[in-house]
C-alpha cells in the first residue's frame, strides 16, 4: 500500500473494510418513488444478481442520519426469516449524485446512502389491482398463512411492524410472500412501560385504540391490520376506507359496534374516547355485512377485528385456526403462475399515459372515457372445481407459465388504481384452485418513511387525496366533530411517516 507524504491525505487507495459503493450496482430502472427516497431495480456488476436499491434521502435532514432509517436497519439485521424481506447490505455513494438531466441531487456536498434488498416481483396490492384479477380461496389462504407466519416471527422477537398493508407485502414469482418496509417498526420489550406514538399504521388499517389516543399497546395493533387485509382479500376492496381519523372511527363503529366499558373494559380511560364516543348505541354488524363469507373465515375475521385489543387473536393462534385446515387447503406457493413483473410506480405511469391518450381521443371523437375496471370478489360455485380466473390484462405471461382462465367476455382494461376510485364491484373470487396471480406494483417501501397511504412496498406508501376506491363505511357520523384531530384534512390512509421524524410526534413517544 502506498504511503502518503507527511501532511497529505492518501486518496488513491480505499480501505478494504466498510460499506461498498453503489457503483458496484448498475441501475436498470426506477420502480418506486416517495417523499423520502426512490427505489431502483439494479444488477450487481460482479455477480449479475438482480436487487432492489432503496435510496435514503439525506438532503432534508438537519440532525444527521434519520433515526427511523437507523431503526429499520437495526431491526432488519436482527430478523432472519423466509417471510421477512432480507436486507443484504447498505452501500454508499461518496460523490454527489446527479439526476437524469445531469443536475446535482439535493445538497451538492452530500453523497447517497442505499439499502440493498432482495428483489421481489410484485406486491399484494399490485397483484390484486390487476384488471380482472381474481384470487382463489386456496391462494388467499396461502398468502394469509405466510403473512401470519412472518408476523408471528416478528412478534416473537418483540418487533411491532406498525404498517401492515397490501403494498408492504411483497411477492415473488415463486409465490413467496414477505413482510417489507420496517420504517415504522419498533422493538418493544414485554416489560416495557414506555409510551409509544399512536401516529402509526396507514389510516385504513389503523386499529381503534390508536385512533382513540392510546400510547401503550402491543402486537394486537398489527393483528387489526391483518384482519383488514384478510377482509379486503375476500371482499375485493378495502373495507374501512376512511377519509380522515374521525371518519375512520365512524366506519369502525358502524361495522364493529360502539365501544364501551362492557365490551372493552377500560376504553373510557383512553385519552380521546370522550371526544369521539358515538352519541347513540351502535350494534356490531360485522357478521351481517360479511354474511356471504365462508363461516370459518368469518369466525377468524371476528377475532381479528375485535375492538378490545386484549381479546384480539394473536398471530400464533390465527395460524392454527380451523380456517386454514378446512377444504380447500392453502395451495403450494410454487403452484401459482408466473407473470412479467410490474411495480406500482410503473403502472401508475402507464395509467397516466392511457388517460392522456383516452382524453385526447375523447376530445376528438366527443366520447366519454371508459370507467375504471371493476374489482372482482370471490364467487362460490358449488360443484365446480376451484380454479382461479383472470381476464386478459396488459402484462403477458412469462415463458412456461400457465395460461389464465378468462372470466367471461373480458376486454382489455387499463390498470386500476389501488388508491383511487374502484369504479365497480369487487375483485377477488373464491374460485378454487391456485392459479391466477398476475402483478402490478411491487415495492420496497419507497423510502422507509413515506407520508401517507398505500404505496410501492419498500417504503413509499403514499395515498392520494382523491376519493377512496371501493367506497366503504356504514352511515353518517355518530360523534361530535373536532377533538384532538382538529379539522383533519382529506389525506386518505395517512401513513404518518412524514414531518419531523427525529423527535417523533413530540415527547418520548416513538
CA separation for the pair 206, 485 (Å, rounded): 15
What angle, 0 to 180 degrees and rounded to 10, lies between the N-to-C axes of helices 295-304 and 220-235? 150
Question: For 283-297, what is each residue's pLDDT tens digit?
Answer: 999 999 999 999 999
List strands edge to edge, sheet with 122-123: 122-123, 169-171, 177-179
List the beta bridge partners of residue 115. 54, 90
Using alpha carbons, select from 118, 111, 107, 103 the residue that is nearest to residue 23. Answer: 111
Please give the C-alpha separations between residue 475 and each of 143, 248, 273, 298, in angstroms, as whole numbers: 32, 12, 20, 22
Q: How many residues does the chain have?
A: 510
Query: Grid coordinates 423527535 are at which residue?
Result: 503
Per the model's pLDDT, the better-predicted residue between 278 and 374 turns out to be 278
List the beta bridge partners of residue 390. 133
What angle, 0 to 180 degrees and rounded to 10, lies between the N-to-C axes of helices 137-156 and 220-235? 170
Question: For 141-156, what is each residue's pLDDT tens digit?
Answer: 999 999 999 999 999 9
pTM above the 0.95 mark? no
SS3 (DSSP) at 179: strand
Whether 163 is a known active-site residue: answer yes
> Do the annotations mark residue 27 as ligand-binding?
no
CA separation for the pair 228, 242 (Å, rounded): 13
Question: For 90-105, what is each residue's pLDDT tens digit?
Answer: 999 877 666 555 555 5
What residue ranges do the domains of the chain occupy? Answer: 22-121, 122-349+374-510
HEC profile of 201-219: CCHHHCCHHHHCCCCCCCC
How would residue 111 be classed by pLDDT, with cut points 50, 70 and 90? confident
Question: For 153-200, what is each residue's pLDDT tens digit?
Answer: 999 999 999 999 998 999 999 999 999 999 899 999 876 788 999 999
Contact indicator for 122, 342 with CB cutoff of 8 Å = yes
Q: Is the pLDDT of residue 343 over 70?
A: no
* Level-2 CATH architecture, domain 122-349+374-510: Orthogonal Bundle (1.10)
| Domain 22-121 grouped into CATH 3.40.50.720 | no
CA separation for the pair 408, 373 (Å, rounded): 14
Selecting among 123, 163, 172, 181, the annotated active-site residue is 163
Contact indicator for 54, 476 with CB cutoff of 8 Å = no
Contact indicator for 39, 118 with CB cutoff of 8 Å = no
The predicted structure's pLDDT at residue 417: 38
Kindly state the cell numbers that stand for 422.
Answer: 374502484
Contact indicator for 142, 434 with CB cutoff of 8 Å = yes
Per the model's pLDDT, the better-predicted residue between 270 and 34 turns out to be 270
Cα angle value 230/161/496 (rounded, 5°): 95
Please give the C-alpha separations between residue 403 and each of 330, 337, 379, 389, in angstroms, as whole numbers: 21, 8, 20, 10
Cα angle value 310/321/231 (rounded, 5°): 75
Amino acid at each position: 500500500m502506498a504511503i502518503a507524504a507527511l501532511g497529505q491525505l492518501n486518496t488513491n487507495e480505499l480501505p478494504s473494510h466498510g460499506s461498498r459503493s453503489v457503483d458496484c450496482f448498475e441501475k436498470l430502472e426506477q420502480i418506486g418513488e416517495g417523499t423520502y427516497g426512490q427505489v431502483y431495480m439494479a444488477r450487481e456488476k460482479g455477480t449479475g444478481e438482480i436487487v432492489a436499491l432503496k435510496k435514503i434521502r439525506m438532503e432534508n435532514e438537519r440532525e444527521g442520519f434519520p433515526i427511523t432509517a437507523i431503526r429499520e436497519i437495526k431491526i432488519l439485521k436482527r430478523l432472519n426469516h423466509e417471510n421477512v424481506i432480507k436486507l443484504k447490505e447498505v452501500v454508499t455513494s461518496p460523490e454527489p449524485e446527479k439526476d437524469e438531466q445531469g443536475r446535482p441531487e439535493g445538497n451538492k456536498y452530500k453523497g447517497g446512502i442505499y439499502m440493498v434488498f432482495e428483489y421481489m416481483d410484485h406486491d399484494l396490492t399490485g397483484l390484486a389491482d390487476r384488471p380482472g384479477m381474481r384470487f382463489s380461496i386456496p391462494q388467499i389462504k396461502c398468502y394469509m398463512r405466510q403473512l401470519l407466519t412472518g408476523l408471528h416471527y416478528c412478534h416473537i422477537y418483540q418487533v411491532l411492524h406498525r404498517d401492515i398493508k397490501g403494498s408492504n407485502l411483497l411477492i415473488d414469482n415463486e409465490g413467496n410472500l414477505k413482510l417489507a418496509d420496517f420504517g415504522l417498526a419498533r422493538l418493544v420489550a414485554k416489560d416495557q412501560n414506555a409510551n409509544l406514538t399512536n401516529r402509526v399504521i396507514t389510516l385504513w388499517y389503523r386499529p381503534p385504540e390508536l385512533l382513540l389516543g392510546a400510547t401503550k399497546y402491543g402486537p394486537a395493533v398489527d393483528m387489526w391490520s391483518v384482519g383488514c387485509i384478510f377482509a379486503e382479500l375476500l371482499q375485493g376492496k378495502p373495507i374501512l376506507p376512511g377519509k380522515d381519523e374521525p371518519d375512520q372511527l365512524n366506519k369502525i363503529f358502524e361495522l364493529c359496534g360502539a365501544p364501551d366499558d362492557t365490551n372493552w373494559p377500560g376504553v373510557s380511560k383512553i385519552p380521546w374516547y370522550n371526544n369521539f364516543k358515538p352519541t347513540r348505541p351502535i350494534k356490531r354488524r360485522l357478521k351481517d355485512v360479511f354474511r356471504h363469507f365462508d363461516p370459518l373465515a368469518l369466525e377468524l375475521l371476528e377475532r381479528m377485528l375485535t375492538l378490545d385489543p386484549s381479546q384480539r387473536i394473536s398471530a400464533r393462534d390465527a395460524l392454527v385456526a380451523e380456517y386454514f385446515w378446512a377444504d380447500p387447503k392453502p395451495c403450494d406457493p410454487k403452484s401459482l403462475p408466473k407473470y412479467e413483473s410490474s411495480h406500482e410506480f410503473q403502472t401508475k405511469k402507464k395509467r397516466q399515459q392511457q388517460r392522456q391518450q383516452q382524453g385526447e381521443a375523447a376530445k376528438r371523437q366527443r366520447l366519454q372515457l371508459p370507467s375504471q375496471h371493476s374489482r372482482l370478489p370471490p364467487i362460490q360455485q358449488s360443484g365446480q372445481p376451484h380454479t382461479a380466473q383472470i381476464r386478459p390484462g396488459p402484462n403477458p405471461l412469462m415463458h412456461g407459465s400457465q395460461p389464465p382462465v378468462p372470466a367471461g367476455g373480458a376486454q382489455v382494461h387499463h390498470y386500476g388504481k389501488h388508491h383511487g376510485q374502484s369504479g365497480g364491484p369487487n375483485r377477488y373470487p373464491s374460485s378454487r384452485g391456485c392459479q391466477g396471480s398476475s402483478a402490478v406494483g411491487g415495492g420496497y417501501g419507497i423510502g422507509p418513511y413515506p407520508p401517507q397511504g398505500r404505496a410501492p412496498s419498500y417504503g413509499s406508501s403514499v395515498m392520494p387525496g382523491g376519493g377512496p376506491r371501493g367506497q366503504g363505511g356504514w352511515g353518517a357520523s355518530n360523534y361530535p366533530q373536532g377533538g384532538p384531530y382538529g379539522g383533519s384534512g382529506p389525506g386518505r390512509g395517512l401513513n404518518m411517516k412524514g414531518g419531523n421524524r427525529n423527535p417523533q410526534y413530540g415527547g418520548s413517544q416513538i
